[in-house]
Amino acid sequence: MKYLAAVLMSLMLSGLCQAKTMSVNVETADVFSAPVESSSYVVLQVPRYYPLLSDAQENGFSQVSDFLGRTGWVRTVQVNATPSVVIAVKMANVREKPGTNHRIVFKASKGVAFKIIDENKDWFSVVHENGKRGWIAKSLTWGASGITSD
C-alpha cells in the first residue's frame, strides 16, 4: 500500500515539475543569476524568440536553461509560449521551401533564434526578428515550445 501511495504521489508531482519551452518576447532579455534583480547579476542576454526551458517560477521570475546548458532566471513577463527554435549547429541553411533540393535563401549560425510559423514533416517555416523568412530542417534546431521534442 505504501508503494502504491508513493507511485501515485510521484506521478502527481511529475506533472507539476515538467519543464516547458518558453520564448523571449522582448527585444533582449536579461538572464539573472538569482530571482531577485537587486542581489544578482546578469548571466547572459538573449534576443527575441530565443527558446528557454523553464521549470520553476519565483518572485516574478522563471528559472530557465538554454540549448548550451546555461542556467539562470528571466523575468516571467519577458517570455511566453510562442513556438521558437535556435540553431543548434555551427551553420544552417535556411531554404525557400522545405527540402534540401530547394534554394538556400540565407544561412544562420549557431545561436540564432527564430519564431516558428508552420511546419512540414521534418522542417520548420521560420521568421527571424529582422523579417527574414525560410525553412529550416528540424534536426538543426533546439526548442520548439512543445511542437516537437528536442
pTM: 0.83
Residue-level pLDDT at 145: 52
- Residue 19 is predicted with a pLDDT of 82
Average pLDDT per consecutive 10 residues, the chain (150 residues; last block may be shorter): 42 55 97 94 97 95 97 97 97 98 98 97 96 97 63
Number of domains in the chain: 2
Task: Identify whether the C-beta of residue 128 lies closer than 8 Å to the C-beta of residue 112.
Answer: yes
The reply to whether 69 and 114 lie within a common domain is no
- CA 60 to chain CA mean position, Å: 19
Looking up residue 35, the CATH number of its domain turns out to be: 2.30.30.40
Q: What does the pLDDT read at residue 18?
A: 74
pLDDT at residue 68 in the model: 96
pLDDT the model gives residue 137: 98
Domain residue limits at 74: 19-80
- Enumerate residues 6+ apart whose C-beta is below 8 A from 59: 35, 36
Domain boundary among 33, 58, 80: 80
